[in-house]
Amino acid sequence: MYLKSLEINGFKSFAEKSELEFSSPIVAIVGPNGSGKSNVAEAFSFVLGEQSIKSMRGKRGEDLIFSGSKTSGNLSRAGVRLTFDNSRKIFTIDFPEVTIERVVYRDGANEYLLNGSKVRLKDVLELLAAANIGASGHHIISQGEADRILNASIKERKEMIEDALGLKIYHYKREESERKLEKTMENIREVNGLRKEIAPHIKFLEKQVEKVKKAESLREELSELYHNYLKREELYLADLKKKFDEEGKTPTSEKEKIERRLDEVKKILAESESADKKSKELIEVEGELRKAGEALEEARREISRLDGMISGEERALLRAENEAKTAKAVAVDLSEIENLREEGEKILAKALKEEEVSTLRGLIGELLALLKDFVTSKKTNEEALKAVKEISAEIAKLQEQKETLQKKEGAFEENESVTKKRYESVKFSIEEGRQRGREAEREMFTLMNRRTELVGILNNLSSRADQINREEGAFKEELEEAVTLLGQPVLHYNDLALPKDFLEEPRSEQEGRRKKLEKIKIRLEEAGGAGGEEVLKEFDDVVKRDLFLSKEIEDLKTSAESLQGLIKNLSEKLDIEFNTGLKKINAEFEKFFTLMFGGGQASLSLAEREVRKRRLTELQGIEEMEDEEEVEIEEGIDISVSLPNKRIKGLQMLSGGERALTSIALLFAISQVNPPPFIILDETDAALDEANSKKYGDMIENLSKYSQLILITHNRETMSRAGILYGVTMGANGISKLLSVKFEEALAVAK
């Protein structure tokens, strides 16, 4: 025996603590109408976790609590405790006794206790289901519900049988799996939806990323090209400037030199133009020279005349000396000589003043004659001596004159030579001046030509300087643009190695690079790709999310598959177990039926039925309702009976008693196949006549071998089969009371 006791406290009419003990396989509860017997059956349902208050004849939880009466107040809680013997381990917990308790409070709150510890309803239900005690009620047949199985639809019937066969657990599991599957499918749809939602974004970002990548590769290309271009350009410009500076130096200094030289040359030219003055000087000097020459000539002539005179005198002297040797010397009065001299000097003075040669000669003759006369007049020995003296004096006098003249000659010579030199010098200087003038002129032309050339060169240089400035400006702009486009790193081009002779390449090559740069810049602009980092990050995030979602879908699909497999397995198991169970039930049903009716036939069969379901479709904005019919195939269990000696086909043709018998036969058959630990039958026997009550009693006894029976009854026969009888009474206070009664007492109590 599994059931030990039931303690009711505050539940419905049982205001006071009441206890039922189930020490017999059949326990009957008897009592008059309205005493609270059914409340006992409901106390079972309650403690076993029944959630439908309605099935316990209440509306709210508080309807289950003793509501008070005229004489007693209401209670705040209702509690029912059911104690099982677990020595045969019908429950999967390691206790010899299992007490399940449920308490309900006025606010509707429920409490469940397992061996005194609070547990969840779920824990209670699972524990009970494992022991084939469900809350579905196949083992608690409430009052008037005996033929419920006959009235039920084929589908409900199937469910009831499945429940009784303990297959509910598979249903629970299958439903749970189906719910999970449904949820999983919903999740799959949801995740798919999410993927679909982000798909266009991914596509969009993909294009963006493509653009960004393209822009990036363009930027790289541009950067590389820029490095090459900028380095070359910088060095090219530096070289250009250096060369320019070098080239510029020479012509500038040369020009300056030329200017200076030109000044000089101009001066020289100006000087050479003043050569006329020199010509006059030359004429003057020439005159002077001629005069000097004439003076010299005169002096020389005089000297030579004196020489002549001297040599004449010397000869006269010689003769006079010779004469004197012969003749005595003649004394001559000094005054006479003085006279002679005066006479001679007069002639000479005249001669000196005379320029004319012939006059001069006459004078010279006159002088000679004078002298001769004098000598002749004195010529005596004495005279000869006197003549010697006189001649010697004359010679001396002439010598003196000659010396004086010679001195003059020297001076004249000197003068002539100096003048000649002066003349030569003036002449030379004129010639030299002319020469220099010509040279200067020539030089001036050459210089001016060169200067023109240099001005040209310098002009050219200046335009080249402009060009360099422009190129430098362009380079600077290019640098700025490069930094704007590519940032500071673009300026790190110094490490780039260039071929040694790179400066020798034609400029067009660099121009080509420039054009290429421009082209790439345009392409870069077209590619856009601003905020590349963000786009890449977003793309990465979105792709990761998509990947995550697709993985999620995979996982969900896998779990959906395993759930489908589980559902399939459960369905197969259900099918198999149901079919074997059904066979067994059929056999028992047949047995019980023929026992009840003394013959006839009854069987359960699998059936299918079309069920038309009406569906109301509300059309938006239209008041009319449209009916739609849906046909569903329902699987279930059909019951076919044939009573002995009656041509009865179909359950609806049975009498009330026949219906009760048939359903009892079926209930018992079901209970027989998978016996629950206990069965509560609330006045199932109400409609039976005496003969059938007896048969019912037999069946009960048979059934009690497998399940403990609690029978609420007014039936004497049924009472007679019970081992323990409880009487329920209700006094004027509206409180149900329990008492253990004997069979005879029971009969009295039942009335």
Q: Which residues bind ligand ATP (CB under 6 A)?
A: 12-13, 31, 33-39, 63, 66-67, 143, 734
| Element containing residue 590 per DSSP (H, E) | helix 532-597
**Closer CB to ligand ATP, 86 or 736, in the complex:** 736
Bridge-based pairing state of the strands 26-30 and 724-730: parallel
Shortest distance, position 155 Cβ to ligand ATP, whole Å: 30
**Closer CB to ligand ATP, 106 or 195, in the complex:** 106
Shortest distance, position 61 Cβ to ligand ATP, whole Å: 11
What do you get for the CA distance between the two ends of the chain, in Å? Answer: 30
Q: Which of 138, 135, 157 is nearest to 82 (CA)?
A: 135
**Closer CB to ligand ATP, 615 or 751, in the complex:** 751
What pairs with residue 612 in β-bridges?
Answer: 631
102 burial type by CB count under 10 A (0-12 exposed, 13-18 middle, 19+ buried)? buried
**Closer CB to ligand ATP, 66 or 593, in the complex:** 66
Shortest distance, position 663 Cβ to ligand ATP, whole Å: 19
Shortest distance, position 15 Cβ to ligand ATP, whole Å: 7
Cα 536 → chain centroid: 6
**Closer CB to ligand ATP, 67 or 594, in the complex:** 67
**Closer CB to ligand ATP, 62 or 416, in the complex:** 62
Shortest distance, position 57 Cβ to ligand ATP, whole Å: 7
Shortest distance, position 88 Cβ to ligand ATP, whole Å: 31
Shortest distance, position 40 Cβ to ligand ATP, whole Å: 7
Total residues belonging to the chain: 751
**Closer CB to ligand ATP, 66 or 597, in the complex:** 66
Task: Name the residue number minimizing CB distance to ligand ATP.
Answer: 33
Shortest distance, position 101 Cβ to ligand ATP, whole Å: 19
Contact 677, 25 (CB under 8 A): no
The amino acid present at 695, given as its one-letter code, is: K
**Furthest C-alpha separation in the chain:** 255
Shortest distance, position 724 Cβ to ligand ATP, whole Å: 18
What phi, psi does 637 have (nearest 5°)? -120, 130
Q: Which residue has the tokens 């001629």?
A: 290
Q: Which residues contact 227 (CB under 8 A, 6 or more apart)?
A: 490, 492, 493, 496
Q: Which of 182, 193, 175, 203 is nearest to 552 (CA)?
A: 193
**Closer CB to ligand ATP, 35 or 663, in the complex:** 35
**Closer CB to ligand ATP, 665 or 728, in the complex:** 728
Contact 669, 585 (CB under 8 A): yes
**Closer CB to ligand ATP, 35 or 672, in the complex:** 35
Q: Which of 211, 230, 401, 426 is nearest to 308 (CA)?
A: 401
**Closer CB to ligand ATP, 258 or 681, in the complex:** 681
Shortest distance, position 111 Cβ to ligand ATP, whole Å: 18
Shortest distance, position 726 Cβ to ligand ATP, whole Å: 12
Q: Which value, to the nearest 10 degrees, does the dihedral of the CA atoms of residues 151, 155, 160, 165 take?
A: 140
The C-alpha angle with vertex 486 and arms to 480 and 487, in degrees rounded to 5, equals 70
**Closer CB to ligand ATP, 31 or 529, in the complex:** 31
- Four-residue CA torsion sign, 368, 373, 378, 383: positive
Q: Which residue has the tokens 């499918």?
A: 185
Q: Which residues contact 546 (CB under 8 A, 6 or more apart)?
A: 195, 198, 199, 202
Both tokens of residue 594?
A: 């023929």
> If you write DSSP's letter for every residue of 351-409 in order, what string do you get?
HHH---HHHHHHHHHHHHHHHHHHHHHH-SHHHHHHHHHHHHHHHHHHHHHHHHHHHHH
**Closer CB to ligand ATP, 57 or 278, in the complex:** 57
**Closer CB to ligand ATP, 348 or 724, in the complex:** 724
**Closer CB to ligand ATP, 18 or 39, in the complex:** 39
The amino acid present at 57, given as its one-letter code, is: R
**Closer CB to ligand ATP, 65 or 340, in the complex:** 65
Q: Which of 396, 391, 351, 353 is nearest to 372 (CA)?
A: 391
Contact 711, 28 (CB under 8 A): yes
The CA distance from 607 to 153, in Å, is: 11
Bridge-based pairing state of the strands 26-30 and 110-114: unpaired
Shortest distance, position 33 Cβ to ligand ATP, whole Å: 3
The CA distance from 616 to 629, in Å, is: 9
- Four-residue CA torsion sign, 746, 748, 749, 751: positive
Both tokens of residue 297?
A: 């000539």
Shortest distance, position 680 Cβ to ligand ATP, whole Å: 12
- Residue 329 per-residue DSSP state: B
The CA distance from 267 to 302, in Å, is: 51
The CA distance from 528 to 507, in Å, is: 32
Angle between helix 690-703 and helix 656-673 axes, rounded to 10 deg: 10
Contact 251, 461 (CB under 8 A): yes
Shortest distance, position 64 Cβ to ligand ATP, whole Å: 6
**Closer CB to ligand ATP, 33 or 508, in the complex:** 33
Shortest distance, position 34 Cβ to ligand ATP, whole Å: 4
Shortest distance, position 39 Cβ to ligand ATP, whole Å: 4
Shortest distance, position 715 Cβ to ligand ATP, whole Å: 12
Q: Which residue has the tokens 């009656």?
A: 646
Shortest distance, position 45 Cβ to ligand ATP, whole Å: 12
- 190-209: string of b/e by CB count within 10 Å (b at 16+)? ebeeebeebeeebeebeebb
**Closer CB to ligand ATP, 12 or 389, in the complex:** 12
The CA distance from 525 to 554, in Å, is: 42
